[in-house]
Amino acid sequence: MPQTRQDALEILVVGAGELGSRVIRALAARAGREGARISVLLRPDTASSPSPVRRALLEELATLKVAVIHADIAASDAHGLARIFRAFHTVVNCTGFVGGPGTQRKLTAAALEAGVARYVPWQFGIDYDTVETGSAGGLFDEQIAVRAMLRSQRATRWLIVSTGMFTSFLFEPAFGVVDLEGLRVNALGSWDTRVTVTTPEDIGRLTADILFTQPVDHSGIFFTAGETLSYGRLADLVEQRFQRRVERIEWSVPMLEDELAKRPQDTMRKYRLAFAREPGVAWDVGVTYNAQRGIATEDVARFLRGHRGVAAM
pLDDT in tens, 74-133: 999 999 999 999 999 999 999 987 778 999 999 999 999 999 999 999 999 999 999 999
Q: For strands 178-179 and 184-188, give the pairing.
A: antiparallel
pLDDT over threshold 60, residue 136: yes
Q: What is the mean pLDDT of the chain?
A: 93
The pLDDT, as a whole number, for residue 4 is 40
Angle (CA) 112-115-119 rounded to 5° is 60
The pLDDT, as a whole number, for residue 310 is 52
Write out pLDDT tens, residues 15-45: 999 999 999 999 999 999 999 999 999 988 7
Is-contact 208 264, C-beta < 8 A? Answer: no
The pLDDT, as a whole number, for residue 308 is 52
Q: For strands 184-188 and 227-230, give the pairing.
A: unpaired
Length of the chain as a residue count:
313
Region 220-240: what's the mean pLDDT? 98
The pLDDT, as a whole number, for residue 46 is 63
Cα 200 vs. chain centroid, distance in angstroms? 7
Query: 39, 28, 106: which is closest to 72 by C-alpha?
Result: 106
Residue 246: CA count within 13 A, CB half-sphere: 27
Query: What's the rounded Cα separation, in Å, for the pair 190 and 220?
Result: 32
pLDDT over threshold 80, residue 1: no
Write out pLDDT tens, residues 244-278: 999 999 999 999 999 999 999 999 999 999 999 98
Crossing angle of the two packed helices 267-274 and 253-262, in degrees rounded to 10: 160
The pLDDT, as a whole number, for residue 51 is 83
Is-contact 113 78, C-beta < 8 A? Answer: yes
